[in-house]
Every structure is written in structure tokens, then in C-alpha cells.
């Protein structure tokens, strides 16, 4: 219980820090010219999808179809299944969850073999891509390996007429809230593919408003 409480407090503090950084960037968007450009390559070869609240898990127990089922991950990051009352799964990948289920079922079933397949993808807040400011449809997106800035902008419907696209920034929470400049106007409206860069889990794309 204390461990889970500590994780929740740490997540809240991280979210508060990120939001404060977003506010700072929005308030001082005129200084984005001094920020380094976002690196073209950012994805990690060893990345594994991390389960979050709202995901659906297909649990397959070999030779035990009565224990196999599809369950949603609850808002508290836990699941319940036959012979398993409460199991925290948020922040874990499918292999880790499968091993945890095997340990639980091992109390009742001899040598259980479990496979977990994620069938819908939302992911934890810490892994989601957030788009704020002058996007046509500001929203959060589940991170996907090799996701690029162009993929994100297509998902949010592009820029508004009031966007200062080339003053946009990426707040990279995976690097301690380091900020990078990106050229959205060149990418979206001029077709300059050299402005396309890869995203990382937890990135926040901030698109300020143009004042002229």
C-alpha cells in the first residue's frame, strides 16, 4: 500500500512539474529560437509497450480455457480475474503481467502457462503524447514505436489558422523536461520533410499562438 501511494505521489509531482514547464514555455514562446532543434531519431530499440488504465488485456491460460478471458484495466491500474482478486498491472509490459498472473494462479493450478495480449492501447499518462495549444484537435495520443511529429499532427488535424507553427516546442519528460524546437509550419504547410522528427513516450508538443 505504501509503495503504491508513493508511486501515485511521484506521478502527481511529475505531472505538476510538466504542467509548470508547459506554462513557462507558453508564457515565453518568444525565446524558443534559442532552444536546440529536436533530434531526428529519438525512439529506443528496446522499447516495450507499457500497460495503462483503459487498456484491455486478453489473458490466455494454456489448457485452462475457463481461466482465459479479456479484462479491462481499471482506473486504479489493476485487474481482477478468476482466482485473482486484485493485480496491479499499470506500468508493466505484457510479459511481466503474464509472469505475475502465473504466480497468482500457481497457488491453485499446477504449472500454469499464461500469455497476455494487449488488445486496446491507451497506456499510462507518463507514456502518452500530449498536444496542447494551436492544434485543430488538441488531445493525448498513445505512444507508438517510431511515431513521428508528422504522425502526431495528422492525428490532431493539423494547425489552426492562428498557430505559430515554427515556434512550437517539444517538452521531453523522458529527459527531465528538456525543451526542443520544432518547425511545424515548414513540415505541415511547406512539406519540408527535413522538419519531421521522432517522438518519445511522454513528449508534450506545445504549439503557441501567433501574435501577428
186-212 tens-digit pLDDT: 999 999 999 999 999 999 999 999 986
- Considering only residues 32 and 102, tell me which one the structure prediction assigns the higher pLDDT: 102
Mean pLDDT confidence for 19-37 = 59
Question: Which pLDDT score, from 0 to 100, does residue 24 have?
Answer: 47
Distance CA 173, CA 127 (A): 9
Domain 56-120 has CATH 3.30.1950.10: yes
Place of cell 503557441: 208
Question: Which pLDDT score, from 0 to 100, does residue 32 have?
Answer: 59
Mean pLDDT confidence for 125-140 = 97
Mean pLDDT confidence for 76-93 = 96
CB 171 within 8 A of CB 177: yes
Indicate the SS3 state at residue 154.
helix
User: Which pTM value belongs to this model?
Assistant: 0.81
Indicate the SS3 state at residue 61.
strand
Topology alike, domains 18-47+125-207 and 56-120: no
Which CATH superfamily, name and number, covers 18-47+125-207?
Outer membrane lipoprotein wza domain like (3.10.560.10)
pLDDT beyond 90 at 185: yes
pLDDT beyond 80 at 5: no
- Domain residue ranges of the chain, discontinuous segments joined by +: 18-47+125-207, 56-120
- Considering only residues 102 and 8, tell me which one the structure prediction assigns the higher pLDDT: 102
pLDDT tier, 43 (very low <50, low <70, confident <90, very high otherwise): confident
Q: Which residues contact 187 (CB under 8 A, 6 or more apart)?
A: 149, 150, 153, 165, 193, 195, 196
Amino acid at each position: 500500500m505504501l509503495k503504491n501511494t508513493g508511486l501515485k505521489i511521484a506521478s502527481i509531482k511529475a505531472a505538476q512539474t510538466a504542467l509548470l514547464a508547459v506554462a513557462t514555455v507558453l508564457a515565453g514562446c518568444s525565446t524558443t529560437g534559442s532552444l536546440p532543434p529536436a533530434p531526428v531519431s529519438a525512439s529506443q530499440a528496446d522499447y516495450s509497450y507499457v500497460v495503462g488504465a483503459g487498456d484491455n488485456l486478453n489473458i490466455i491460460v494454456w489448457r485452462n480455457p475457463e481461466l482465459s478471458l479479456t479484462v479491462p484495466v481499471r482506473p486504479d491500474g489493476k485487474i481482477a480475474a478468476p482466482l485473482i482478486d486484485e493485480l496491479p498491472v499499470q506500468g508493466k509490459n505484457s510479459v511481466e503481467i503474464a509472469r505475475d498472473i502465473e504466480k497468482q494462479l500457481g497457488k491453485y493450478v499446477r504449472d500454469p502457462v499464461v500469455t497476455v495480449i494487449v488488445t486496446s492501447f491507451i497506456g499510462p499518462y507518463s507514456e502518452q503524447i500530449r498536444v496542447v495549444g494551436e492544434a485543430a484537435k488538441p488531445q493525448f495520443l498513445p505512444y507508438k514505436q517510431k511515431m513521428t511529429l508528422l504522425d502526431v499532427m495528422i492525428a490532431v488535424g493539423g494547425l489552426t489558422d492562428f498557430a505559430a507553427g515554427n515556434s512550437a516546442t517539444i517538452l521531453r519528460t523522458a529527459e527531465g523536461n528538456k525543451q526542443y524546437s520544432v518547425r511545424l509550419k515548414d513540415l505541415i504547410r511547406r512539406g519540408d520533410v527535413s522538419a519531421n522528427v521522432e517522438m518519445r513516450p511522454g513528449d508534450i508538443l506545445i504549439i503557441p499562438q501567433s501574435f501577428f
